[in-house]
Structure formats: structure tokens, C-alpha cells
Structure 1
Amino acid sequence: MAKKIAEKFKMMIPAGSANPSPPVGPALGQRGVNIMEFCKAFNEKTKDKMGFKIPVIVTVYVDKSFTFETKQPPASDLILKAAGIKKGTDNPILNKVGSITKAKLDEVIDQKIADLNTNDREAAAKILAGTCRSMGIEIVD
């Protein structure tokens, strides 16, 4: 028989460095979850993605046990890393801060397509191209 779910919630946690301090500790503690157990499991699962903030969906059950599902890092973070820049622009119409090749964009698509609301690579390319455009990053051949 399946466990009864008490609550589901989302958090963004730096990969491989979850610790009991805010925001992780209070978010888990108020729901009765074993904080250190979560931190150890999360850090072990995300140690290969260091440097990114990882979206995580935590499911807490009535008996205070939990499961969690990690997602891919935000598309904007993946694009910034691929473009080799620190941050996007505040005005994408006037200021272009960098460029990314279509090959690099394809690599980002490969990583991110599981979390997007499409399975079509062309649609995923359009979604990520829009993200690039809003960050002031040009896509070049």
C-alpha cells in the first residue's frame, strides 16, 4: 500500500552543499523531516552538479519520511555556463552580453529537455532561444 502524502514542496538548493542552515533547515524542520538525512542524501545525489542551484521537489509523508526528486539546473544557468559569462543583461534589446553557438545550445537542450514541457527538439530549441534572447545572448552558427 502506498504511503499517504502529507505535503509536497519545492526548493532551490546549491548542488552538493545542502546544510541545516536556512533556507533548507527551517523548510524541512517545520514539516518534521530529518534534516541531516535529507542533506546527506541530497549532497550525495548532486555532487556531480557542483556550481549550480538544483530545483528539488520534496514529498513528505504522514509518517514524516520523505522522498525527493531533483531536476536539471535552470536553463538560464546552463546557458550562462555554455556562453562563459557571469550574468545576463538588464536590457536585452540594447545590450548583448555574449553569444552561444548552436552546438552549445544543442548540448543545453540535451541536458534540459527532460524538464521542459515538450519532447520535440525544435520546440525545445525555440524555448531556449527565447531564454537566450531575454538574457542578451545571441545565437550564432
Structure 2
Amino acid sequence: MHSMLSHPSLLDCRRLFLRNYEVWINIGVHDYEKRGEQRVLINVELYIPLALSTPRADQLHEVVDYDFMRRTIAQRVSQGHVHLQETLCDDVAELMMAHPRVRAARVSTAKPDVYPDCESVGVEVFRIKSSMTEIQP
């Protein structure tokens, strides 16, 4: 995933990422897809203002914990069948953006086992908070 750190409102941010987090989920619109789980790879980039993520005492509570990304995705995946990757991707992005320290999020989902002649098929979304007042320390 290409970094969005060149976006003007993200220049004072650090980027946290979760790459190729593999989940098994019941996803798809076709009947054969509804009969079992498929492997989906989820990638997340979170953009956190340096002022809200630079540790002074080298303590976990001073930063956004990577477990937040994994735990949040696992909770979403456990909610049951999803028809579209777009829905899953949008849901994960919205959940990431709900974190008070996150200024922006980039999320992608990929189904690597759909076609034998390509690496994967997927979708990606980028969200950014409209104002700095939405970001909490």
C-alpha cells in the first residue's frame, strides 16, 4: 500500500500499519461462497499525530496499540456473513476512524484465492477526519 504521508494534513503524523492480517470469513454473494469461509487479507494504515503518539516515558498507553487493529478486525469478522468486500473494508475503516487518536486510515481487503491467474482481488478505502477537533489526546 502506498503511504499517504505526503498528504498535507498528515505531514505531522506517524504511520502505524498491519500488513496482510489473514482472517477466514464467510464472504461473498454467490451461493458457493455462502457455504464456507474464505481467506481474506486485511491491510491497515493508521495516521496518528506525532503529538499524540510520541512516548515520553516509553509506555504503551502513550501510543496507539497494534492490538487495537487486530482486535477490532477480529470482532468485526466474528459478526457473520458479509456479501461484499466493499462492506467489510468500509466497516473496518469506520472502526479504525473511531479511535480518538486516529487522524486518517487506509484499509484494504484482498481475496487471494478467487482466481488462479492473479495474486488477489480486493478493494481499498482511505478516510481522513474532516477537522482537527475530531482528534482527541
- TM-score norm. by structure 1 comes to 0.23
- In proportion to residue count, which structure has more strand? 2
TM, length-normalised to structure 2:
0.24
Larger Rg: 1
